[in-house]
Amino acid sequence: MVAKRIIPCLDVKAGRTVKGVNFVGLQDVGDAVELGRMYAAQGADELVYLDISATVEERNTFTSLVEKIARNINIPFTVGGGISSIDDAARLLDVGADKISINSAAVRNPRLIDEIASKYGSQFVVLAIDAKRVGDRWLITTHGGRKLTERELFAWAREGEERGAGEILLTSMDHDGTRDGYPCELFDSLSRQLSIPIIASGGAGSVDDIYNVLSAGRADAALAASIFHYGEITVGELKRQLHERGIKVRL
């Protein structure tokens, strides 16, 4: 059995790490470089950096900050936000990113997935999906959750895999920052339709929440922010408790 991964997330705006609820009400929670260094030291399996305002502000990700973080960590580093071309991806890989996360630009131009995967390999491409429940459907949103589309989650995830995405990073907008737990049924349903790894995002508030999404939700990795940023538990302690409950993790 492949070990489950624990992935802290740095949502960055104007160079600072922030956290909100349902993508709004953002509060400053610290320096991105220092947080990245701390989580790597605690035993995080990977680190995700999302420049959450880049697409809305129609600009590229801040490469200087990405480079600083990359120099201070020794774990795989995924970067997303404002990536709309293969040149954008190349620029970030050149300054230290190990993987590229694409979201709104891929919805607008699905061939971007093919292009990056063809040049660098599927292992470099993470398709990030921000989904919102509307009636009995899960629909894709773009621009940091600000724009609702008619594109359906499961169909889009399958298309992403077919086009060459190596992983899916799925965030439930309805659960993001609420700390009420992940929608495990959603992740379980998606995992049964895909053969690539799924990173669960949105709703982590306790060890139980993360245990549930890795077991009942069948997610391959759990991404979390608030519980780490506010010092409620360290990555190492979380992994120790998950191990005691039968979840295979790297200790």
The reply to whether 205 falls in a domain is yes
112-144 pLDDT, tens per residue?
A: 999 999 999 999 999 999 999 999 999 999 887
Tokens 């499961």 belong to which residue?
Answer: 154
Is the Cα dihedral 64, 40, 143, 92 positive or negative?
A: positive
Q: How many domains does the chain have?
A: 1
In the residue annotation, 208 being an active-site residue is answered as no
The reply to whether 62 falls in a domain is yes
The reply to whether 50 falls in a domain is yes
Catalytic residue among 45, 51, 88, 130: 130
**What CATH number is given to the structural domain containing 201?**
3.20.20.70
The reply to whether 25 falls in a domain is yes
Is the Cα dihedral 144, 86, 200, 10 positive or negative?
A: negative
The reply to whether 79 falls in a domain is yes
The reply to whether 135 falls in a domain is yes
Q: What is the pLDDT of residue 82?
A: 83
* pLDDT for 19 beyond 70: no
The reply to whether 251 falls in a domain is no
141-162 pLDDT, tens per residue?
A: 988 778 999 999 999 999 999 9
If you count them, how many residues does the chain have?
A: 251
In the residue annotation, 130 being an active-site residue is answered as yes
The reply to whether 38 falls in a domain is yes
Catalytic residue among 11, 88, 176, 220: 11
| Mean pLDDT on 47-71 | 78
196-205 pLDDT, tens per residue?
A: 999 999 888 8
Domain span at residue 15 reads: 5-244
236-248 pLDDT, tens per residue?
A: 999 999 999 999 9
Q: Which two tokens stand for residue 206?
A: 């306790």
Across the chain, the runs of DSSP E, i.e. the strands, are 5-13, 16-21, 24-31, 47-51, 77-80, 99-102, 125-134, 137-142, 147-152, 167-172, 198-201, 221-224
